[in-house]
Amino acid sequence: MNFVKRLSGKNFFVFNLVLLGILFGFVLALSCTKGGNRAQAQENPSVVIPQDALSAAENLQTAFRAISDKVLPSVVELKTVSVRRQQVPNFNGIPWEFFFGDPNNGEGREREFRSQGLGSGIIVRKANGGNSKTFTYYVLTNNHVVGDANEISIALNDGTEYPAELIGKDERKDLAMVSFQCSDDLPLAVLGDSDTVMVGDWAIAIGNPLGFMSSMTMGIVSAVGRTGGPAGNINDFIQTDTSINQGNSGGALVNIRGEVIGINTWIASSSGGGSVGLGFAIPINNAKRSIDEFIDNGEISYGWLGVSLTDPDRDTLQGLNLSGKRGALVSQMFLGSPAEKGGIQPGDFITALNGKEVRGMNQLTLMVGDLKPGERVSFSLIRDGVQRNIDVRIETRSNEVAAENSKLWPGVYVIPITDAIRQSLKLDSKIEGLYVGQVISRSPAAVVGVTRQDIITAINGERVRDIASFYRIMREKAGREIWFDVQRGDSTLETPKYKR
């Protein structure tokens, strides 16, 4: 108010003249500066971008634009709502609502809790809908995206939303499928061949990170065949430095041709969940058979061999004369399983399946899981230093059978005694045998009383000197019954006999 008053009447007119003068001077100075810059640019031309380099960059830019146009319409946003009902608690007989509203309701009332989720998905199939004017579209995503959702909806690239229905889900591969109906003719994602992906290839992630729809990020393939990740997941992941964040799960990882090579699934991060360039995608070849199974059966079926596998450490490999070899060790076998019927035994080191190299436990688990029940396959393995091939007829995996520990033979994981183990247990240098790292509950070894940190010194009365002799004796001496001699502390014990 005071400032306005001071600038009234004559003073206000003078002020305007001064202000116009200042503005005119500023514009004139700016004009001179720009003119000077132009003159300087003419006198000292900047470095010219080489035309061939510029053309290459523009061609690459054109490729990325084309990828965006090709893939974005087939990647959707998934929105989920999970409803949970919980009993209303009370405090010393006073209902919760007395403190937080609606005090007239009595105790014992249930409240409804709704939690929302967000992810991505890929349109992979189309079928005629309920009438000639609609189509049914099938969307592939992650199991952890849909979770236990009670409500699912999808949003297209243009923001249009449709209610969706869960078709099926699978925890082991972290895959799920939903469907929705739409009258528009939508494009399907083009699925590539993830077996041809190599380190250094372009990798483009398309999805909805943190709710920012239809986002596209670019990087390279950092590694292939990565294992680990979420517990229980059996995939061998593609690793990429492409920026992937929460909400990208279930979205597409595509190559420079716009073909889907993976399903973005998880990230490794030390920053509380933010992208640090360690993203992982399920190879699309791991999911191709699952697409048809979800649509036809609502679930994924797995082939079953009936063994428990390990990736042996260096000492175990050396003890089995397998140093430098790649494969997976059969540490346990299910009694009555396809493996036992075919002739596979504990201690066998599997190196190939149908001629394809086995690099480790997780890869072999995935390979066997993708086999069709009833299919007859050939395993290449090493037993007692001898290479051999064994044919096995695969059966259907049952979660109940796979969890039946009483049929795991022998039910004990052993490793060679190292200097560190000998020092830790204060073992006499003369004691030979195998260190018990784990005993499977309800298995034969557990039933007869073998415990963790025991030293197995004999099987069925024959001395166990190293891990090679452990598995040899298991095959030759423990056909229908088994018992162990163990060193436990300062005591030597013989377990009861276990008969199959």
Active site (catalytic) residues:
144, 174, 249
Question: Ramachandran region of residue 101, left (φ > 0), alpha (ψ -120 to 50) or beta?
Answer: left
Token digits of residue 434: 């195998």
- By CB atoms closer than 10 A (0-12, 13-18, 19+), residue 290 is buried
477-481 long-range contacts, CB within 8 A, separation 24+: 478/410
Q: State the number of CA atoms in the 13 A half-sphere of 474 facing the CB.
A: 27
Nearest-5° angle of CA 346, CA 350, CA 351? Answer: 160
Backbone angles phi, psi at 210, to 5 degrees: 55, 25
Phi, psi of 317 (to 5 degrees): -60, -45
Enumerate the β-bridge partners of residue 332: 308
Closest CA to 177 of 76, 246, 275: 76
Contacts of 336 (CB under 8 A, 6+ apart): 306, 407
Query: In Å, how far from its chain's centre is CA 386?
Result: 36
Nearest residue to 234 via CA among 317, 167, 303: 303
Encoding tokens for residue 274?
A: 């933010």
Tokens of 147: 């979770």
The closest alpha carbon to 226, from 140, 179, 181, 286, belongs to 286
- What is the largest distance, in Å, between two alpha-carbon atoms of the chain? 119
Could you write out the DSSP letters of every residue in 316-336?
Answer: HHHHTT-TT--SEEEEEEETT
Q: Where are the alpha helices (DSSP H) in 235-337?
A: 285-297, 314-319
